[in-house]
Amino acid sequence: MISDELHREVLAWIADDPDERDRAELSALLRSAGGADSDETGRAAAELDDRFSGRLEFGTAGLRGAVAAGPNRMNRAVVRGTTAALAGWLLYIDPAAADSGVVIGCDARHRSDEFAQEAAQVLAGAGITVHLLPPRQPTPLLAFAVRHLAAAAGIMITASHNPPADNGYKLYLGDGAQIVPPADLEIEAATRSLGPLSQVTVAPPGDPLIVRHGDEVAAAYLDAICATSRAPKGAAWLRFTYTPLHGVAGDLALRAFEQAGFPEPDVVEAQFQPDPDFRTVAFPNPEEPGALDLALAQARRSGAELVIANDPDGDRLAVAVSDDQAASGWRTLTGDQVGALLGAYLLGKDAAAAAADPSVAGHPLVATTIVSATTLASIAAAAGAKYAETLTGFKWIARAGDLRPEVRFIYGYEEALGYTVGSTVRDKDGIGAALAVLSLAARARSGGDSLLEAYDALEIAHGVHLTEQITVPTTEPVQVMSRLRIAAPDELAGQPLTAHSDLTGGTDELTSADVLRYWLRGARVVIRPSGTEPKIKAYLEVVEPVIAGRLTEARRAARARMNPLREAVRELLDG
């Protein structure tokens, strides 16, 4: 049974919900929860309690949750309320936003096109122009389109690499980057103070304020990213396998490969067409074990030397390289390894371009986050480039050079397989990054090297930077972080801390964040709660110099230090 208060709350939501299916779903749960005591009654009551435990709140750049009825789920009612609040906020801070408009895109997840259409009609109802992209497009295209169309904001309906049951609502500001405080807090507050949804003006689907774009935005995006990463000489001999993991990047990626001059890839056909159920993978995240199994098996059969994969909304990139020394014959590179490889490659390209064109102004800038490896800092220093370290998330990486007029932003990455090349897309761009990886691989190949050998050279020059991540599920991340703040450790794995910091309140370089950092001799630990899931994450790095080129010994020493550090941090998080 449920309380009378919850019963009234559910009935009020049903009366205000614009979607007939969602109203029926809640009505059925309400009937089940009010029946005779049984397991079904208990399950229905618990489900209603969870769905009405609060409103779906902004996490990393927007909303994300399971598709279902109720305020704590992703549905048309939540999209309508959030979009009405966004419309009011936009018109308040900049009345000209009505004309510059909002770009809306969506992926192929369950009800994505429906949610995009709902958002479009709410914005048009508020008198705001809408630029509606074709359905089933990747997130980088939306991020690009915001600036390309000089829009005031962007909405991307996607849950990125979340489980199939989820969907989301990702917000971008007019600079083409993900939303940041205080804008997200202000929009969330406006959502909470919104009146009944029945009072929100919703335009008809054919309203003239809704501009439906064709392929012209995608064509402009391809022109921009292909100009940055054209295939070098010898690229025709590069053999690679590609999979979009049932997501929406496939068509645009194949067009990009061809336009940039790369050979046609060996495509994993079973994963090429968008599928919101992601039937061939247990979890549609290329970081997860097993996600690349089909692609690796196909690459073995076809004799490919490289595997590249995008995540479902196309903003992330995974890379695997043929390796005779690995048990499977393949090695999947970490985000930090790809991040370092691309950083060194793009800095080298930039230096050559600047030398050929004296008019190029400003110092090159590369950026990564406080949880990524520090290899990029060493690479940048050796290249005479500027380096920035930001909070986690591309909303910070993309803006790393905004207040520094003396720099040129040329590259940014985060360890979670996110990369952006130049400022064409001010967000993760798995397609643009794929072109850069292919260009790097083709150049290395023409010199008789592989990506693995290129990475070996980086470690010999800059030291071994071994990184690992620990994830601990918890329903009480705030309590875990509070416990660690009250009693900071004096040592980890027998090694004394040399320094520690709490980013609550921020620093001169970083805004306030729920992050703790510990330093040991030649090692670092960063701890933070997840922005989208009930988890605590710890990011570990051990740095070991390479003496006299003895890379194997340095890697062995780094591993010997990492193992006890990992166990010590896990014990710390478990309490």
- Catalytically active residues are 160
Tokens standing for 332?
A: 């999947």
Token representation of residue 109:
């997840």
The upper half-sphere exposure of residue 60, i.e. CA atoms within 13 Å in the direction of its Cβ, equals: 16
Distance set, CA 570 to CA 119, 241, 472, 566, 575 (Å): 43, 36, 8, 6, 9
Return the closest-CA partner of residue 75 out of 18, 31, 125. Answer: 18
Q: How far apart are CA 3 and CA 185, in angstroms?
A: 31
Q: What is the helix (H) or strand (E) element at residue 58, kind and residue range?
A: none
Q: How far apart are CA 285 and CA 270, in angstroms?
A: 16
CA distances from 243 to 292, 317, 417, 454 (A): 8, 10, 15, 24
Degrees to nearest 5, angle at CA 76 with 72 and 80 = 95
SS3 86: helix
DSSP result, 232-266: PTTGGG--EEEE-TTSS-HHHHHHHHHHHTPPPPE
Distance from C-alpha of 154 to C-alpha of 132, rounded to nearest angstrom: 10
| Token digits of residue 431 | 């397609």
Question: What is the CA 420 to chain-centroid distance, rounded?
Answer: 11
Task: Give the integer Cα–Cα distance in Å for 515 and 110.
Answer: 34
Q: How far apart are CA 263 and CA 329, in angstroms?
A: 23
